[in-house]
Amino acid sequence: MPGITREEVAHLARLARLELRDEELDHFAGQLDDIIGAVARVAEVADQDVPPTSHPLPLTNVMRADEVLPSLTPEQALSGAPAQEQQRFKVPQILGED
């Protein structure tokens, strides 16, 4: 597979709106070529018998199950509120909308 050219790096830089000097184009061309080579080697190792995964270890949900527990009634919750309306806390309007 041919390597990444300076022109291709310059094109990518233009798309990303980056200004690169000539020595940077050469430097990044070599680096991008190494990265693409590494990805190609990984692709060679992957086999049809290996299922795609998002994580090398199985993940489990560590959240507890929802349980209904005794809680405050609306009247109890609003008992200390300075203002209430329709069983809700009433707060000052901030957006200027009705």
Nearest residue to 23 (alpha-carbon basis) of 36, 38, 10, 37: 10
pTM of the entire structure?
A: 0.44
The predicted model gives 26-38 an average pLDDT of 91
pLDDT at res. 46:
66
Are 61 and 41 within 8 A, CB to CB? no
Let me know how long the chain is.
98
State the burial class of residue 84 (Cβ atoms within 10 Å of its Cβ: 0-12, 13-18, 19+). middle
Convert the pLDDT of each residue in 40-62 to its tens digit: 888 777 677 777 778 888 888 88
Residue showing tokens 């998002």 = 54
Cα–Cα distance for residue pair 4/2, rounded to 1 Å: 7
Convert the pLDDT of each residue in 1-13 to its tens digit: 568 899 999 999 9
